[in-house]
Amino acid sequence: MLLPGHDADAVQAAARGLADGELLGLPTETVYGLAARADRDEAVAKIFAAKGRPSDHPLIVHVLDAAGAEPFADHLPAAARRLMEAFWPGPLTVIVPRARGVASSAAGGQATVALRAPAHPVARAVLAAALELGVLGVAAPSANRFGRVSPTRAAHVVEEFGPGLLVLDGGACEVGIESSIVDCSRERPALLRPGLIGRARIEAALGEPLVAPDAQAPKASGTLAAHYAPAARLRLLDADRLALLLATGAASAGLEGVAVYSRAQPPAGLAWKWQAQPGDPAAAAHELFAVLRALDAAGAREIWVEAPPRDPAWDGVRDRLSRAAAAFTE
Ligand code: AMP
Ligand code: MG
């Protein structure tokens, strides 16, 4: 059932459902989450079952603020505190040592826990109402089946899970890609997943450089080589290669069902479907998953995506596209 997220009664109903251990489609500023209370393992088990996600892949626990993070953390390392102060509420997740016996399913059995305070007003209203009912935090991975494109509109969540799931409609997600994840549980903070908040801003807030994730970092959904994939085969191509493929494909009439997502001007009458890619990384992130879903829905056989510029501002978008393309490497 789809309910308006800005309606106070809908928020109350959603919070009551969470308190009772039910699942909820929850809008956040990054993507829509499939939410359950993080402080009950039986509730979290429903997320893994609905998504078809391996239960050892840890989830992000959503809280209102740094004080709300404390019950889940063994302690908050200085790096985590700095990042919370700089970017919360917002699209940045910190990984910290987990409090013993708390949220072990949400953490996929790890000794650490991932925490984020979302900025979306509907998410915040739900977290506050649920907290009143004793819900300490809400685990909410993207509301899609394992490995598929993340939802950035309420209708996408209904597409994924059908009308049986209560979904709050909070509009189109402003950021559009998942949060940046920084592991603060080790000696030096490491960037596990790039997002809209880029490396430079994170390092400025930390006052130290981020290191590469070490080999002990758990292999988890958001960091798998192949993820975020549409049904159509996605190919990530440099501008020159894309132009060449279009020219030769046109010559051999091999472009049937090929959609192109590019910053270039469409060559006259060439591809079956041409989608203009924004030149700005925030705009590109905002629409990325909705575009992939729309091209799937239009029946694309292949999606040829012009590779984003090498600029670090594009790291988040480039990361999602590389993983989507990796699902189809021959
Ligand atoms: P999402 O799928 O957006 O909920 O993001 C969850 C991602 O956060 C996982 O796929 C991991 O990459 C990362 N993550 C969450 N918790 C942990 C943890 N305890 N240790 C390492 N990575 C984590
Ligand atoms: Mg996901």
Same-domain pairing of 33 and 77: yes
Distance CA 149, CA 162 (A): 16
Ligand 1 atom with the shortest distance to the CA of 150: 3
Ligand 1 atom with the shortest distance to the CA of 107: 19
Task: Transcribe 144-165 into DSSP letters.
Answer: SSTTBPPP-SHHHHHHHH-TTS
Distance CA 28, CA 177 (A): 11
Is 293 a residue whose pLDDT tops 70?
yes
Is 221 a residue whose pLDDT tops 60?
yes
Same-domain pairing of 137 and 201: yes
How confident is the model over 114-125, as pLDDT tens digits? 999 999 999 999
Q: What's the whole-number average pLDDT of the chain?
A: 94
Percent of the chain with pLDDT over 70: 95
Q: Is residue 40 part of a domain?
A: yes
Same-domain pairing of 170 and 312: no
Based on the structure, what is the number of domains in the chain? 2
- How long, in residues, is the chain? 330
Q: Tell me which residue range forms the domain holding 54.
A: 2-206
Angle (CA) 34 40 44, round 5° = 30
Is 81 a residue whose pLDDT tops 80?
yes
62 phi/psi in degrees, rounded to 5: -100, 130
- The residue whose C-alpha atom lies closest to atom 4 belonging to ligand 1 is 141
Ligand 1 atom with the shortest distance to the CA of 139: 4
Direct distance between the N- and C-terminal alpha carbons of the chain, in angstroms, rounded to an integer? 40
Same-domain pairing of 164 and 295: no
**Whole-number pLDDT of residue 329:** 64
Radius of gyration of the chain (CA): 20
How confident is the model over 2-50, as pLDDT tens digits? 999 999 999 999 999 999 999 999 999 999 999 999 999 999 999 999 9
Of 147, 178, 173, the C-alpha closest to 62 is 178
Residue 52 identity (one-letter amino acid): G
**Whole-number pLDDT of residue 310:** 94
Question: What is the DSSP-derived secondary structure letter of residue 241?
Answer: H
Q: Is residue 312 part of a domain?
A: yes
Confidence of residue 226 (pLDDT cuts 50, 70, 90): confident
Which range, of 78-92, 193-207, 261-275, 307-321, averages the lowest pLDDT? 261-275
Q: Is residue 186 part of a domain?
A: yes
Task: Evaluate: CB of 221 within 6 angstroms of ligand 1.
Answer: yes
Q: Can you tell me the mean pLDDT for 290-318?
A: 96
Q: Is residue 211 part of a domain?
A: no
**Whole-number pLDDT of residue 273:** 87
Place of tokens 């006052």: 207
Q: Is residue 225 part of a domain?
A: no
Beta pairing class for 60-62 and 112-116: parallel
CB atoms within 10 A of CB 215: 5
Is 330 a residue whose pLDDT tops 70?
no
Task: Evaluate: CB of 192 within 6 angstroms of ligand 1.
Answer: yes
**CATH number of the domain within which 54 lies:** 3.90.870.10
Task: Evaluate: CB of 220 within 6 angstroms of ligand 1.
Answer: yes
Which ligand does the CA of 193 lie closest to? Answer: 1
